[in-house]
Structure 1
Amino acid sequence: MRAGQALLVGLLRARRAALGRVLGWSVAEGIPALLSGALLAAALDRGFLAGRLGVGFVLLGMLALAMLIRAAATYAMFPHLAAVVEPIRDTLVRRVVSDAVLDATSGHPGAGMRADAAVARLTEQVESCRNLTASLLRTLRQLGVTIVAALLGLAVLAPILLPLVLIPLGLATWLFVRLLPPLARRRRALVLADEEIAAHTGRTVAGLRDVVACGAQERVVAELGAAVDARARAAKLLARASSLRLLVVALGGQLPLLAVLIAAPWLVRDGTLSTGEVAGAALYLAQHLEPAVRAATATVGGWFLELLVVAGRLAQTTDPAPMPAARPAPAPSGSGGLVLDRVTFGYGPFAEPVVRDLTMTVSAGSHLAVVGPSGIGKSTLAALLAGLLAPDQGTVALADTLLPNWPEPALRATIAVVPQEAYVFAGSVHENLSYLDPDVARADLDRAVRLVGAAELIARLGGYDARIADPGALSAGERQLIALARTYLSPARFVILDEATCHLDPPTEALAEAAFATRAGALVVIAHRIDSARRADHILLMDGNRPTLGTHHELLAESALYRDLVGTWEQRPTDPVGWFERKPARTEENARGRVRR
């Protein structure tokens, strides 16, 4: 509760001016509560009971005028209430999103599970905090002003009745304060139960295919059911604790009225109070104090506690300052290549392995092409080499260190994978090209763009400072050129092109592969054309359970499958219009046949 209180105080302090205007109009709203009992007493004693009907109606008319003033004050207050509440939601959304992004990129264990809980915080807790703050400011300010106004009016009208009201009201307040901590604990348990359900649901939905494939439906249902049952138990405990608020209402709202009504005959008989003063006192208690105590008890015991708990949870799980990242572990210092040792991998425990018992080495400075029929597992091998998939058996090591033992940032900086569908984001051309090396020099940028064959594209887009507003407007080949230049500029020592040039024409593809082949480090190309295989130092032919490594001429002599693949490649039409599915020639490069979709 302290954390939630501190967060709320900080949020409200930032909106002091608007909050002050809300409280100012709230005082105007309390005028009817302050005057109602006194005006009723005067209307009875000086008007109706004295036979002066006109005076009585005039005094009641003044009370009606006060009610109109209250309605106008309420209308004028709402824009200022919105000026307090809406920035609170915006601030909390920024905190939750920033915390989730920082957590996901910090390298801390369990970040994925915490991201599922962040969804609950963003979709439920932030909105609850906003709605509860609005409801409390709209309700509590009116109730507080009403209680104070009723007690002040009673003190002026009939001060002798104050002990009969203040003593039970004080006892009710003491009891209610004692009830708040257990109510807060039970409400917090309910909030945590909601987060647990959100986390279980997020993991289940994300892995639904695996759940079904593994036949784990009953286990998942049991785990999710246990979370729902825990939430139900928390709700029941909260309901039981909340029922004690009825005793507070009886003590603070109903007992004072009962005491005044019991004492009224004696007080009127001995002349201490008039009939109008008793009626006015009863109006203060029955019309204002008792309903306000009832509503305030429900509001504080419900909405206010929920707000403190939710705000406390947000305060504990988010931090406006950047959270400290885990101390990066040093990258291994070895200079060895990528080594696969008896690697086997399959998509599921009962599936036929895509890669079986594969042992090979990708040396630093080597150029390897991977070929094979469609669906044989070439992209799977690329993911294993990059550490994006973990083998079921065997090991993958880089620089004499197993890939799982590499720090994730260091591994991603050392091995780069360029997929078939290249990613380009909205932003400037320079931002896209320098994403993996923000401090790249202009000369290196020019050199990379020229070597991979993207110079004409960059010039046509308008240069490095040009904006790419809609990446989808670029052709697939244009996106591949930008991704190739970006990867060439990266610090990666091992580059894997997973059909990353398939949307380029053969001359542009040859230019890009030559650039990477002469770049420092190793190059692995998932080949889709014969020329890519011929340019490699070695070729890995994936043939089900019999992968074969050799040169182009060795495989031609030894492998019937490789000869069939070469024959198929060489029989493809070379006419750019016939083979390539070209995008309509709307640009110079398209018209020249440089890039295809």
Structure 2
Amino acid sequence: MSTQLPVAGPAEVRAAAIRDLKADPRAVAGIVLVSGLAAAAGLIGPWLLGRIIDTIQAGSGNVLSTVDRLAFGALIFTVVQTVLGWWALKIGFRFGERTAARVRERFLRRTLALPPRVADHLPAGDLIARGSTDASLVALTLRSAVPEILVAVVHALFLIVAVLVLDLRLGLCGLVCLLGVGAAVRWYVRRARTVYLAVAASGADLADVVASTAKGARTVELLALEHRRSQITDSAITRARFARLRALWLRTVLFPWSEVALALPVVAVLLVGGALYANDLVSLGVVVTATVYLRQLVGPLDTLMLWIELLQGAGASYARVEGVADIPKTEAGLTPPAKEGGDRIRVDNAHFSYTGAKDVLHGIDLVVQPGERLAVVGTSGAGKSTLARLLAGLDRPHIGSVTIGGTPVAELPPDQLREHVVLITQDHHVFHDTVRDNLLIAKPDATDDELTAALDAVGAGWWADLPHGLDTEIGNETKLDDASAQQLSLARVVLADPHTLILDEATALLDPKTARQTEQSLAAVLRGRTVIAIAHRLQTAHDADRIAVMEAGELVELGTHDELVSAGHVYGRLWRTWHAEPEDDER
């Protein structure tokens, strides 16, 4: 599997951009219409200026009165242009905010729809970068670029048409000189996409290195890997720096080139217009008006040049955000679990390896009946958590199968998988939001009574002491310790009410007494549901219907507590050793 998500091609990005524009047609039409009126109003001022010059030069009639009227008209149309330009940008910014929200929501939906084993194996930095840096850049572009570009394009077109209508010779002269701008843009665009994709990818790699190093800081310190991690970080920084320098080099070529090219039309029209005026082929007012039009053209073209550069980075980010859609929801045609198979979980001759070089699970055979409470025990490194990942569909065995109701668990779409199997580990996440909203993630239509019942079921009585109860904002009005946060996560499980719950040391952060009470409460609430507990406390195994004993990646024993203790093998030795010591909750 690729270490990064795919990137959408140019055609996909264009199609997505068109869809986003079509999603709000009234706003787009409003921007074009109002900016067109603003551009038309802006043409009147330079034309009136030319009339003023010609009137003064002619010197006939009431010159002062005529100049005053023309100057007042120019002032009025300048104000009108300013107001209409402001209105067009206002419409555009509102359009941009709505569109940016759609892009973010679309990215979130696609991310949540990723198969768990796909999302779990992706570098965290890639998803973080796409959901934060890339999405923010796309949102900024949609908020600012779309209205400003539309306004600039309409304004530029009106100016070009105006100078051509005013005098075809001067207009063509100016446009020919603009070919240099087109050449600069063409040179830049042909190189920019690859460069900016490299910038985004190197940034994602760097974020992943930093995130993984910070997350595994204790492991790095224990194994004395500081020097190695520093080298990896330095390498990622070097790649990111090199990619950014390449993008900077493109900009240092584009902008000086374009600045010179934008000045040429004005210079050319002054020279050619001066020659035509000297030969009485054109009036001075026409030359001045054409010059002002072309000088005004520099403004929108400058805006377009600036956004052309910014759009390359935004386009690369857009391609990365849209690339999530190219992740296949599944690797094969899927069907929901067969009705006749129920929710029975079956593991047949499962072999699994993380690296492909050495198996960590060897020939596991296991059947878990619906409603059964199964405890999986064993020493550290025995393969308990790896088996839990296979049962939850986060990984698939390279030999054998893991099925629920006859369908491979790893092939279930995320929405169906969450209905059937939920894996809870000691890792948890609490959002900076109210307690209520943190719980409603699991069941959006839950009532307050259901929410409080779920909290009480996992022993989270602390919610009643919060300043605003369920409406208390976590992270602002109160902070939860690890134990309380874990109970909040377990309350979500109660609300989700899955057919099968896998607890991989989910109560490890709780003190022994609270952990046992929570496990007993969960067992009562989830009665009739399948519960598979990776047990680090043997008292948890004692309460289970059956116990599976793992050793060196193999399932070595399977039976009830009394059967395994009587057999006196691995579990019997573990029980006697643990029971001989003072229990944790009695210390």
Give the TM-score band, short-chain normalised. 0.5 to 0.7
2:541 to 514, 533, 539: 533
Range with greater deviation from structure 2 (295-304 or 363-372): 295-304
Matched, 1:490 2:498: yes
The answer (yes or no) to whether the contact 1:357–1:394 under 8 Å persists in 2 is no
The answer (yes or no) to whether the contact 1:116–1:203 under 8 Å persists in 2 is no
The answer (yes or no) to whether the contact 1:32–1:70 under 8 Å persists in 2 is yes
2:189 to 176, 187, 190: 187
453 and 239 in structure 1: CA distance in 2 versus 1, 3 angstrom threshold: closer
In structure 2, the partner of 1:512 is: 522
In structure 2, the partner of 1:562 is: 575
Matched, 1:419 2:432: no
The answer (yes or no) to whether the contact 1:184–1:305 under 8 Å persists in 2 is no
514 and 324 in structure 1: CA distance in 2 versus 1, 3 angstrom threshold: closer
Matched, 1:259 2:269: no
- Aligned equivalents of 2:268, 2:437: Cα separation in 1: 75
Number of residue pairs aligned between Structure 1 and Structure 2: 529
In structure 2, the partner of 1:386 is: 392
Range with greater deviation from structure 2 (97-106 or 85-94): 97-106
In structure 2, the partner of 1:84 is: 91
1:33 is displaced (CA, Å) by: 0.9
In structure 2, the partner of 1:592 is: none
TM-score by length of 2: 0.66
Residue deviations 1:176-234 (CA, integer Å, cap 9, x gap): 89x58x94685275245423431343245325648967987799689768866875787
What's the Cα RMSD here?
5.8
- Aligned equivalents of 2:427, 2:445: Cα separation in 1: 26
In structure 2, the partner of 1:96 is: 103
- Aligned equivalents of 1:359, 1:22: Cα separation in 2: 69
AA at the equivalent of 1:485: V
User: Which is greater in Rg?
Assistant: 1
Matched, 1:479 2:488: yes
Matched, 1:524 2:541: no
The answer (yes or no) to whether the contact 2:93–2:144 under 8 Å persists in 1 is no
- Aligned equivalents of 1:543, 1:80: Cα separation in 2: 71
1:420 is displaced (CA, Å) by: 4.0
AA at the equivalent of 2:547: I
Residue deviations 1:71-116 (CA, integer Å, cap 9, x gap): 6445534541332221232133123213312332445898867885
In structure 1, the partner of 2:334 is: 329
TM-score by length of 1: 0.65
1:283 to 282, 288, 294: 288
Matched, 1:199 2:201: yes
The answer (yes or no) to whether the contact 1:96–1:121 under 8 Å persists in 2 is no
Residue deviations 1:382-418 (CA, integer Å, cap 9, x gap): 3344343567x86562357765455555444433223
1:329 is displaced (CA, Å) by: 0.6
The answer (yes or no) to whether the contact 2:35–2:88 under 8 Å persists in 1 is yes
The answer (yes or no) to whether the contact 1:386–1:417 under 8 Å persists in 2 is yes
Residue deviations 1:262-301 (CA, integer Å, cap 9, x gap): 243443xxxx88xxx53x3443244x14423555555556
The answer (yes or no) to whether the contact 1:187–1:306 under 8 Å persists in 2 is no
The answer (yes or no) to whether the contact 1:37–1:284 under 8 Å persists in 2 is yes
Matched, 1:292 2:300: no
- Aligned equivalents of 1:290, 1:468: Cα separation in 2: 60
Q: What is the DSSP-based 3-state SS (H/G/I as helix, E as strand, rest coil) of the residue aligned with 1:369?
A: strand
AA at the equivalent of 1:260: G
Matched, 1:35 2:51: no
Identical positions, percent = 18
1:535 is displaced (CA, Å) by: 1.7
1:94-173 paired onto structure 2 within 5 Å: 94-107=101-114, 121-136=134-149, 139=152, 162=167, 164-166=169-171, 168-169=173-174
AA at the equivalent of 1:32: G
Q: What is the DSSP-based 3-state SS (H/G/I as helix, E as strand, rest coil) of the residue aligned with 2:547?
A: strand
1:9-88 paired onto structure 2 within 5 Å: 13-14=26-27, 16=29, 20-46=33-59, 65=72, 68-69=75-76, 72-73=79-80, 75-77=82-84, 79-88=86-95
